[in-house]
Amino acid sequence: MSYHRLIRLAKFLLSATILVQIIACSGGASDLPFIETFDSPGTWSSGEDAYSVGAVVDGVYDFKVLQNDISRWASPGEQFSDGIYEVEATAVEGPLDNGFGLLFRANPESGDFYLFKISADGYVWIGRYQEGAEDAPIIGNHWFESPAVQKGLNVPNRLRVRAEVGNLIFYVNDIEVGRVTDNTFSSGDVGLLVQTLGGSGVRVLFDNLSVNPLD
């Protein structure tokens, strides 16, 4: 585990905050399958400020966090419960000591959601955020190393979650990296997250986001 990641572990055990970039959830449940190829902006939150830049560009969601120790996320304003959540993510700039991935069953107003993220140096974090702050990992003690993650920049990784009520199974590149039963959140939006840990300027391209009905 890197020096930066050990320092962040100590900090998160004491307290943690997350700055969010959101739009409001829609009122009712969204139809499945939900398939987003980012060929048009749709209802995705986007914009630029002192902390991040995010927008649908050239068939991907192009997301960059400009300052260190910041997490930012974007969502389309949908509402899902059970399903198979999947996205392709490629880190293209910044230090490998980073975090990026998929959040689901998210409530933008309260800042509650499950988060499944990886790092470009080969680690995985799976857990909950509540009121916009890191609550607790639900698999492992914090970040854990996994050979399922393809390391480096310009290397795509595919994240998938099978969510059936409280039974959650997590995959990276079709390899299971953990499973758990957790009933804290039952439904909500889906979203994309980028986090800086070892330095600023982390940029990630997201593509082929989908939520499909359980098989």
The Cα–Cα gap between 125 and 51 comes to 22
Q: Which helix (H) or strand (E) holds 30?
A: none
Whether the pLDDT of residue 143 is over 80: the answer is: yes
Q: What is the dihedral of CA 103, 108, 113, 115, to 10 degrees?
A: 30
pLDDT for position 6 = 39
Whether the pLDDT of residue 18 is over 80: the answer is: no
Whether the pLDDT of residue 16 is over 50: the answer is: no
The pLDDT tens digits for 38-91 are 999 999 988 999 999 999 999 999 999 999 999 999 999 999 999 999 999 999
Radius of gyration from C-alpha coordinates of the chain: 15
pLDDT for position 22 = 39
The Cα–Cα gap between 158 and 174 comes to 8
* Alpha helices in the chain, H assignment, sequence order: 3-14
Whether the pLDDT of residue 15 is over 50: the answer is: no
Whether the pLDDT of residue 12 is over 50: the answer is: no
Q: Residue 29: how many CB atoms within 10 A of its CB?
A: 11
Domains and CATH numbers, the chain: 3-212 (2.60.120.560)
In the chain, count H helices and then E strands. Answer: 1, 15
Please indicate whether residue 20 or residue 35 has the higher confidence score (pLDDT): 35
pLDDT for position 28 = 63
The Cα–Cα gap between 78 and 80 comes to 7
Reading phi first (left if > 0) and then psi (alpha if -120 to 50, else beta), residue 140 is in: left
Whether the pLDDT of residue 23 is over 80: the answer is: no
Q: Are 69 and 180 in contact (CB under 8 A)?
A: no
Mean pLDDT, range 139-147, rounded to an integer: 95
For the chain, what is the mean pLDDT? Answer: 89
The pLDDT tens digits for 157-209 are 999 999 999 999 999 999 999 999 999 999 999 999 999 998 999 999 999 99
The Cα–Cα gap between 93 and 116 comes to 20
3-class DSSP assignment, residue 7: helix
